[in-house]
């Protein structure tokens, strides 16, 4: 039997420690060891983007990493995204990107949705007012088997607008 290695990692703000086989993929670690099944696995070789998570704030494909590689790092999965945000009304504990996907019918079966959303979080942080071409470029590495791309592009536009409004509201409050 392969020697186990200890992985200590913070996921969605919570510390975890597990002894795992060095060959265990990060996507399987999240889904099977931590039971965070919002990270979806489609192709398992880096092509579809459905397993995308945030590693120290960067969008990465968890099927292309081993769990042991994230020892000492911070991860955010789709389950950890919502609590950081509330909508302008304060009634919905969803990230503005999640709300925008719901509003614009940016999802059908939802299989690809966590990967799209986590790809878009750092993109919109870096580029808060993207053009349609930039949006299409940003999501070009994610596949939607339901081919709902127009709704997804509309969702990104709406999310950018809503996140801009929230930022203005925040700045006004702290003035
Ligand atoms: S499952 Fe990771 S990119 Fe497809
Ligand atoms: S909504 Fe079904 S795969 Fe994208």
Ligand approaching nearest to the C-alpha of 60: 1
Ligand approaching nearest to the C-alpha of 116: 2
Report the distance separating Cα 133 and Cα 131, nearest Å: 5
The answer to whether residues 117 and 98 touch, using CB atoms and an 8 Å cutoff, is: yes
Position 63 scores a pLDDT of 98
pTM: 0.91
Distance (Å) from CA 174 to ligand 2 centroid: 40
Check pocket membership of 71 for ligand 2, CB cut-off 6 A. Answer: no
Position 171 scores a pLDDT of 81
Position 167 scores a pLDDT of 76
pLDDT per residue as tens, the chain (175 positions): 679 999 999 999 999 999 999 999 999 999 999 999 999 999 999 999 999 999 999 999 999 999 999 999 999 999 999 765 554 555 567 899 999 999 999 999 999 999 999 999 999 999 999 999 999 999 999 999 999 899 999 999 999 999 888 777 778 877 6
Residue nearest to atom 3 of ligand 1 (CA): 46
Check pocket membership of 12 for ligand 1, CB cut-off 6 A. Answer: no
**Burial (CB count <10 Å: 0-12, 13-18, 19+), residue 156:** buried
Query: Candidates 43, 48, 107, 154: which one to mutate for ligand 2, based on the most atoms within 8 Å of Cβ?
Result: 107
The answer to whether residues 136 and 153 touch, using CB atoms and an 8 Å cutoff, is: yes
**Burial (CB count <10 Å: 0-12, 13-18, 19+), residue 86:** middle
């Amino acid at each position: 039997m392969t020697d186990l290695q200890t992985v200590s990692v913070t996921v969605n703000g919570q510390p975890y420690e597990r002894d795992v086989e060095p060959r265990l993929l990060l996507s399987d670690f999240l889904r099977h060891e931590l039971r965070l099944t919002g990270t979806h696995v489609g192709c398992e070789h880096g092509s579809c983007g459905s397993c995308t998570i945030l590693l120290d704030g960067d969008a990465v494909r968890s099927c292309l990493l081993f769990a042991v590689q994230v020892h000492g790092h911070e991860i955010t999965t789709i389950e950890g995204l919502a609590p950081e945000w509330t909508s302008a009304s304060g009634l919905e504990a969803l990230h503005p990107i999640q709300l925008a996907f719901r509003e614009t019918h940016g999802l059908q079966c939802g299989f690809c949705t966590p990967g799209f959303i986590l790809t878009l979080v750092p993109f919109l942080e870096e580029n808060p007012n993207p053009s349609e071409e930039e949006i299409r470029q940003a999501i070009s590495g994610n596949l939607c088997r339901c081919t709902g791309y127009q709704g997804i592009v509309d969702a990104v536009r709406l999310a950018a607008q809503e996140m801009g409004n929230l930022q203005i509201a925040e700045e006004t409050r702290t003035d």
